[in-house]
Amino acid sequence: MEDETVTPEGLPKRTGNNLDPWYHHYAARAAGLSASEVRALFAVASRPEVVSLAGGMPFVSALPDEFVMGSLERVMRERGPVALQYGSGQGTESIREHILEIMAIEGIEATLDNLVVTTGSQQALDLVAKLFLDPGDVVLAEAPSYVGALGVFRSYEAETVHMAVDEHGLVPAALQETIDRLTAEGRRIKLLYTIPNFQNPSGVTMSAERRAEVLQICRANEILVVEDNPYGLLWFDRPAPDAIRSLDEDGVIYLGSFSKTLAPGFRVGWALAPHAIREKLILANESAILSPSVFSQLVIAEYLEQVDWRTQIDTFRGLYRERKEAMLEALEDHLPELSWTNPNGGFFVWLDLPPELDSKAMLPRAVRELVAYTPGTAFFDDGGGRHNIRLSFCYPTPESIRLGVRRLANVVGGELDLLTTFAGTGSLQFDDRVRRTSTPPSNLA
- Window 77-96: residues binding its own copies (CB under 8 A): 80-87
Whichever of 87 and 201 has its CB closer to its own copies, that residue is 87
In this structure, what DSSP letter does residue 179 have?
A: H
Query: At a CB cut-off of 8 Å and minimum separation 6, what does 426 contact?
Result: 420
Residue 278 in contact with its own copies, rule: CB under 8 A: no
Q: Which is nearer to its own copies, 132 or 231 (CB)?
A: 132
Per CB under 8 A, the segment of 98-106, 120-128, 316-324, 410-418 that binds its own copies is: 120-128
From 263, 265, 294, 266, select the one nearest 75 (Cα to Cα): 294
Of the ranges 71-79, 236-244, 344-352, 379-387, which one interacts with its own copies (CB under 8 A)? 71-79
Separation between Cα atoms, residue 362 and residue 103, nearest integer Å: 41
Which parts of 129-168 interact with its own copies (CB under 8 A)? 130-134, 137, 148, 151-152, 155-156
Q: How far is the CB of 268 from its own copies (least distance, A)?
A: 9
* Contact region with its own copies (CB under 8 A), list: 10-18, 192-200, 396-404, 428-436: 10-18
Q: Does residue 428 bind its own copies (CB under 8 A)?
A: no
Nearer to its own copies, 112 or 290 (CB): 290
- Whole-angstrom Cα distance, residue 233 to residue 304? 15
Q: Supply the DSSP string of 384-410, one letter for each residue.
A: --TTEEEEE-SSS-HHHHHHHHHHHHH
Q: Estimate to the nearest angstrom the gap between the alpha carbon of 67 and the chain centroid.
A: 26
Q: How far is the CB of 7 from its own copies (least distance, A)?
A: 9
What span, in angstroms and rounded, lies between the C-alpha atoms of 201 and 390? 6
* Complex with its own copies: residue 1 or 27, whichever CB lies closer: 27
Contact segment (CB under 8 A) with its own copies among 115-123, 303-311, 316-324, 425-433 equals: 115-123
Task: Choose, by CB under 8 A, the member of 93, 104, 167, 265 that binds its own copies.
Answer: 265
Query: Residue 355's closest CA among 324, 325, 385?
Result: 385
Amino acid in the structure at residue 327: M
- Whether 100 and 109 have beta carbons less than 8 Å apart is answered as no
| Smallest distance, its own copies to C-beta of residue 346, A | 16
Q: How far apart are CA 34 and CA 428, in angstroms?
A: 37
In the list 1, 8, 61, 435, the residue contacting its own copies (rule: CB under 8 A) is 61
- CA 32 → CA 122, 135, 154, 250, 346, distances in Å? 17, 11, 5, 30, 29
Whichever of 61 and 427 has its CB closer to its own copies, that residue is 61
Nearest to 329 by CA among 319, 318, 314, 340: 340
DSSP 349: E
Q: Between 160 and 259, whose beta carbon lies closer to its own copies? A: 259
Size of the site for its own copies (CB under 8 A): 87
> Per CB under 8 A, which of residues 176..235 are in contact with its own copies?
190, 216, 219-220, 222, 224
Largest Cα–Cα distance in the chain? 79
Site for its own copies in 235-264 (CB under 8 A): 248, 250-251, 259, 263-264
The interface with its own copies within residues 13-32 (CB under 8 A) comprises 14-15, 19-23, 25-30
With vertex at residue 104, the alpha carbon angle to CA 102 and CA 109, rounded to the nearest 5 degrees, is 130
Residue with Cβ nearer its own copies (58 or 172): 58
| Polymer length in residues for the chain | 445
Q: Is 76 in the site for its own copies (CB under 8 A)?
A: yes
